[in-house]
Structure 1
């Protein structure tokens, strides 16, 4: 298409702030064949002239300086020149191309880079395609929607250097799609390992989903005043604790009973390595406490409390006053201590640490990072004797801080999605769900509301391509309940109810002992197929065989499928993994199955009145039903009619 070589830079008036939002840069891909949304910041009330080649329009900045303009649609191709001009500033972008833009988001399986996939050396070495352009959004969180990214992103051509650390699922999708879609492809990657779906949803989406009103209220308080937000969160946290331990147990208070507290080893480190039998496999909470003695002069100074690295979530009090809370894998914690919290004499620091088992749990230091710093430049080491108190795992997990990375509702959306404004998109690739497996019953509603939430921002017809969770964990030897299977079913149902969504089944490309399976090439290929069907209207099914009905036929149950374009096949003999169930889990039975045209017939066990069919159920099930071209039937549960 005659695209220019990379290497130019955006030209703007000397010392002038950027007029265009930072998603608009040299080498940007803009969505073709639809009006082009362009936006940014200028002086309040200023007129902004915006143009692409010989097409131009104007916009007026509002009282906050925000402006928005719409340019006429252009077909695929380029390069073009995009300009934004005011009476005092000018910004010019070169090598702008029109194409199809996809937003790739989710958690660690979307974040996994090409360099960690199968045959990565060869894959990276051949990744040289200026027709595919990449932009990665840096990880960040915010208590309120941001108009701009915390770190300015950069559009880059696909080269071995830029692709190696880019999202593998996103890259392999575009590489496969480019074979049939002859247009530049822009990929925006915004994901974060371990993130829950609710952190990617805006306030409106969460309110519609329900169940987040109080949490969002705390977040709103924190956005206005962090100290007040911490105090509000502390009330929720402390109420959660006393509901389990009783009102007499308040370990955050200086005067708490210390008879069941024990000295912690020095230096502090992974509590599983302390040699304490009850901590060897403890995934849950511990309390930590440290006393310091201050002079009246020290206590009168503003101070910061630095605790070093903590794994994973903490809530911290000083003299019974909540001073901070956060979530992060081995991230350093520093909290400001408000005036009049410290006092002359003994002061008590109490930290509750929660770890779900990812990495070494606890206060990790090192000692030199654990310090109380005073605003006059002085400091006091917090090395030395800490004491600790055990918390039974049966207590579960407390309410997470509303502003925490990856778990706080809207926190990631506010910093990583909201700054995209109304940037034109062709579709969204979503690969997430592992982090919500603790509450699968809410996932279908959350996924449905996430799609609606993003459509309100990017366009009501925005397509979503959803990766169903792969196999992970043990293969079941008997029918069993499975949270991962429940999430897969929630994903399937959310997609089935949405005409602008498609499912990429990945149940056969996972690994039973690897949370991050490296075969992202196949995931990308299946996402590409789903896009070709849903978005580009190609006459193919978006995925493999999909169940459409189950009905009783005498002693058998007939499950009918669609999408089996090349006929149903079963590898390694008869289809495995079908279950017939009554009302409850205990009634489920593995059953014999055989293929009959576009259906599978299941033999009902004697004595069971089947009400539903399950297929490929469990954490890491073995599934053998495919269509002739090699696409698997995904896991499902449907009622028998």
Structure 2
């Protein structure tokens, strides 16, 4: 890193903003960066008020004048993938940004499963050894919580090598690797995540404050601040006891006691919008193609509120970036925790439903991971498939590759002559994961009720025999649990998302007797047809 850039980062972290005088740049405008192609790419910084600044790169040039606060910004036009070289930024002084590429830029954000590094992923030794991709770069934002939007952050662009990649976001890396292998273009990932954090932390505070539904976030923070002195005193006492207890190793192989967590309320962390302020706001002038997101675990305690909060956060980011409807691709929660004998209504199941319903927001995509989680680990190590499934959404819906990008998604439910009929999008060749197409195979547990019996588990079959009738069958659900069994896939091996067809309660034994229906998978399956309207693919379910 050049000395002037190191000075800028230090000044930013200590003072909360750059001092005026010579032309200065934010941390994300630095050596090894990747600029977004085929759209005006933002470059900005600080100088003396009224100072003229000129930026040159790849034969392109643009000028700006610093405003009364010393801020300036401009757009570089006409950049195409593969352009590279040195960028110069000149005012009273001249800065040289080296080894700049043009390609595709994505933000990767969320909580711990996005923060999870390549060094912990499945087959990590082999993956790290093979991670030699000079045209993949990652900028990792240092963790920072702020009460107000920050001008800058701390971080640097790193070229993907076996030496740098171990601390890369694993999902970000595997997403970038797949896109690079498909597009043959440079891929930049701006990684900004923090484990254990809810979406309220990542949503701009003014947006949350406008809606009474989000008032609990403010109430919780006010309570934490008020209780902080007492909580701090208890924490310091607990910490002293923990240090004393860990001076000697535990006997008989018992696990060491966990260190106490410091309380919230003593700094900005925990306040509504704190991570948006510290870790997203400094990036919003950087032109991107879209965002990938892996989060939700920290909001599982209030899944119904997440149905409103998550779309609100997505729309707020698009507004702040001033990039209308940029693609926002996210990961649905994986299977985790206990598997119940019957489909069971749980917070995790409802959080997945909130994520499924967020597909109603335009230009969103969801990677289903109900089949690749870990019952005993909230951080499953299979990040390869997560990155791949996110990349498939991007390839098909952003880069117009003619390929399947999603597992089956329930799109309709009808009662016809005593039969429950379900329809799906992205369901071509729907089958059991073991490939069977004969009677008796079990693609997925389906829960079906009738008007004279409570809900129970039924098995979908793959035979061509008619579905068994029952009187007035009512709503259905599949893989509705924390850690459900499901191997229902389409012909590309992508799994079906959990779903239910109505708002009836789960896990409540209410009426006289049980009724099971066998559902004919042939009648469930849809073929998906993609048409290209104005060059963009769309999914159209055929008629049953």
Q: TM-score range by the shorter chain?
A: 0.7 to 0.9
Partner of 1:463: 327
Does 1:430 pair with 2:293?
Answer: yes
Q: Which residue of 1 aligns with 2:201?
A: 199
1:580 aligns with 2:448: yes
C-alpha distance in structure 1 between counterparts of 2:141 and 2:97, whole Å: 19
> Structure 1 CA distance, aligned partners of 2:241 and 2:345?
39
Pairing partner for 2:341 from 477, 496, 504: 477
Structure 1 unpaired stretches of 5+: 1-7, 220-231, 239-250, 255-260, 274-308, 316-324, 327-402
1:464-496 CA distance string (max 9 Å, x none): 11100000011121232111111111001001x
Residues 433, 489 of structure 2: 8 Å contact kept: yes
**Offset at 1:588?**
3.0
TM-score (norm 2): 0.79
Q: Which residue of 2 aligns with 1:312?
A: 261
Contact 2:444 2:488 (C-alpha < 8 Å) held by counterparts: yes
C-alpha displacement at 1:44, in angstroms?
A: 1.9
Q: Distance in 1 between matches of 2:335 and 2:468?
A: 26
- The answer to whether the 8 Å contact 1:13/1:90 transfers is no
Render the CA deviation track for 1:380-406: whole Å, top value 9, x for unaligned.
xxxxxxxxxxxxxxxxxxxxxxx553x
Which protein is richer in strand relative to its size?
A: 1
Give the one of 161, 164, 172 matched to 2:163. Answer: 161
Unaligned runs of 5+ in 2: 9-20, 247-257, 504-544
Residue aligned with 1:164, SS? helix
In structure 2, distance between residues paired with 1:108 and 1:491: 17
Q: For the structure 1 residues 194 and 69, does the alpha-carbon distance in structure 2 shift closer, same or farther, using more than 3 Å as the test?
A: same
Match of residue 514, structure 1, among 365, 372, 377: 377
State the partner residue of 1:56: 61
Q: Is the 8 Å Cα contact of residues 591 and 603 (structure 1) preserved in structure 2?
A: no
Answer with 423-432 or 60-69: which moved more.
60-69
* Partners of 1:431 and 1:23 in 2: CA distance: 22
CA 1:173–1:265 in 2, change beyond 3 Å: closer, same or farther?
A: closer
CA offsets per residue over residues 223-254 of structure 1, 9 Å max, x none? xxxxxxxxx6578669xxxxxxxxxxxx99x9
Counterpart for residue 136 of structure 2: 132
Secondary structure of the residue aligned to 1:26 is coil
Report how far residue 50 of structure 1 moved. Answer: 1.9
Instruction: Measure the CA separation in 2 of the matches of 1:476 and 1:141.
Output: 39
Of the candidates 423, 436, 448, which is equivalent to residue 560 of structure 1?
423
Name the residue aligned to 1:45. 50
Shift of the 602–638 alpha-carbon distance from structure 1 to 2, 3 Å rule, reads farther
Contact 1:10 1:93 in 2 (8 A): no
Q: Give the equivalent residue in structure 2 for 1:440.
A: 303
CA shift at 1:178, angstroms?
Answer: 1.5
Displacement after TM superposition at 1:272 (Å): 11
Distance in 2 of aligned mates of 1:22 and 1:265: 38
Given that 2:136 and 2:160 are in contact with CA atoms closer than 8 Å, whether structure 1 keeps it comes out as yes
Kept in 1, the 8 Å contact 2:147–2:274? The answer is: yes
Question: Equivalents in 1 of 2:412, 2:381: separation in Å?
Answer: 34
Q: Relative to 1, partners in 2 of residues 1:235 and 1:535: Cα closer, same or farther, differing over 3 Å?
A: closer
Cα distance change on mapping 1:44 and 1:216 into 2, 3 Å: farther
457, 463, 470: which one pairs with 1:590? 457
User: Residue 202 of structure 2 contacts residue 276 of structure 2 at CA under 8 Å; is this kept in 1?
Assistant: yes
Query: 1:596-607 residue pairs with structure 2 within 5 A?
Result: none
Residues 476 and 618, structure 1, Cα contact 8 Å, conserved in 2: yes
Distance 1:596 1:446, change over 3 A: farther
Q: Is the 8 A contact 1:12 1:91 kept in 2?
A: no
1:81 to 75, 83, 86: 86
2:35 to 17, 25, 30: 30
* 3-state secondary structure, aligned to 2:163: helix
CA distance in 2, matches of 1:439, 1:217: 15
Match of 1:628 in 2: 491
For the pair shown, which has the larger CA radius of gyration, 1 or 2?
1
C-alpha contact (below 8 Å) 1:591/1:604 kept by paired residues: no
Please name the residue that 2:356 is paired with: 492
Equivalence map 1:246-285=2 (5 Å): 268-269=241-242
User: Among 125, 133, 150, which residue is 1:121 paired with?
Assistant: 125
Give the structure with the larger helix fraction: 2
Count of aligned positions: 471
SS for the counterpart of 2:68 is coil
CA contact under 8 A between 1:209 and 1:449: conserved in structure 2? no
Distance (Å, rounded) in 1 between the aligned partners of 2:22 and 2:485:
57
C-alpha displacement at 1:456, in angstroms? 0.8
Cα distance, 1:409 vs structure 2: 1.4
Q: Is the 8 A contact 2:30 2:156 kept in 1?
A: yes
Q: How much is the aligned-residue C-alpha RMSD, in angstroms? A: 3.4
Q: Any residues of structure 2 matched to 1:98-497 within 5 Å, and which?
A: 98-149=102-153, 151=154, 153-207=155-209, 210-212=212-214, 233=223, 268-269=241-242, 311-312=260-261, 314=263, 325-326=265-266, 404-405=268-269, 407-458=270-321, 459-495=323-359, 497=360
Following superposition, the deviation at residue 570 of structure 1 comes to: 5.1
Q: Kindly provide the CA deviation profile for residues 344-396 of structure 1, in whole angstroms up to 9, marking residues without a partner as x.
A: xxxxxxxxxxxxxxxxxxxxxxxxxxxxxxxxxxxxxxxxxxxxxxxxxxxxx
Deviation at 1:539, TM superposition (A): 2.3
* Alignment partners' CA distance in 2, 1:266 and 1:489: 40
Distance in 2 separating the partners of 1:128 and 1:428: 24
Q: TM-score, structure 1 length as denominator?
A: 0.68
- Secondary structure of 1:453's counterpart equals helix
TM-fit CA distance, 1:63: 2.1
Q: 1:466 to 1:234 in 2, by over 3 A?
A: closer
CA distance 1:532–1:44, shift in 2 (3 Å): same
Superposed CA deviations along residues 19-60 of structure 1, whole A, max 9, x for unmatched, are 222111111100000111111111122221222243222212
